[in-house]
Amino acid sequence: MPTEDRLPKKTAVKTAKKAAKRVRHSPMEHPRHQYPRETEALQEIARSCGLTEKIKWGKPCYMLGDRNIVLIQRFNDAIALMFFKGALLKDARKLLEKPGENTQAARVLRFTDIGEIDSKKAVVKAYVAEAIEVEKAGLKVKLKESSQVTLPEELERKFVEIKGLKEAFYALTPGRRRAYVLQISAAKQPKTREARIEKYAPRILQGLGLIDRG
């Protein structure tokens, strides 16, 4: 079988391009694949706050008992610490961001390199400590009903194209509907939003939420 060195020039270029595409990581993969040092630094901070680590959705999640407090996740240009109830934090330094336009409860602290994490270690610990106190106090984010969240137009179209999808979607609990809407809306490109809807449609038709086991 010919090696890549012996392949025609055009074929070799196509092979190289395919190989380059294969190194892209799925959003569900562990953040250390792209940010090993940064991930380790954030893990140490979370652990130092007395939280228990568990892998959820392919990422390190830190819990107080059985309650999710923070999650380490990566974006295309950054790594972040996501606070599940970030909307309830005071955020006096104005560092928290919404991970998506329609996100209600979660907030993230973004970092681009290890130096930024090291320089803000005390600040990050303070945010985590506050998130723990919020959970201990039993505070909850007042969420809007999914009907109040704008549905992506791609989803509206799929309601017409896929038989029973609209009925199955509105038969889900408000939280499950919201999770789908936010996950779909987070995609910037229409094609990506459509691909996500097609991927989730079978689960919706089965009455399953985004992370429910089938």
| Residue ranges per structural domain of the chain | 31-136, 146-205
Paired tokens of 13: 């270029």
The pLDDT, as a whole number, for residue 125 is 97
Paired tokens of 7: 């392949």
The pLDDT, as a whole number, for residue 8 is 56
What is the total residue count of the chain? 214
| Mean of pLDDT values over 29-34 | 74
d(CA 209, CA 202): 11
Chain centroid offset of residue 202 CA: 21
Looking at per-residue confidence, does 195 or 144 come out higher?
195
The pLDDT, as a whole number, for residue 60 is 93
DSSP H helix total and E strand total for the chain: 8, 5
Paired tokens of 88: 């309830």
| β-pairing verdict for 59-64 and 52-56 | antiparallel
Q: How are strands ordered across the β-sheet holding 79-83?
A: 52-56, 59-64, 67-74, 79-83, 107-111
Q: What is the pLDDT of residues 105-161, one digit of tens each?
A: 899 999 999 999 999 999 999 999 999 999 999 999 887 765 566 888 999 999 999
Q: What is the pLDDT of residues 44-62, one digit of tens each?
A: 999 999 999 999 878 899 9
The pLDDT, as a whole number, for residue 89 is 97
Confidence of residue 20 (pLDDT cuts 50, 70, 90): very low
Cα torsion angle, 60, 62, 67, 71, sign = negative
Residue linked to tokens 């196509």: 14
% pLDDT > 70, the chain? 82
The pLDDT, as a whole number, for residue 86 is 95
CATH code, 31-136: 3.90.1150.200
The pLDDT, as a whole number, for residue 16 is 46
Cα torsion angle, 197, 201, 204, 209, sign = negative
Q: What is the pLDDT of residues 73-111, one digit of tens each?
A: 988 789 999 999 999 999 999 999 988 766 788 999 999
The pLDDT, as a whole number, for residue 13 is 47
The three-class DSSP label of residue 200 is helix
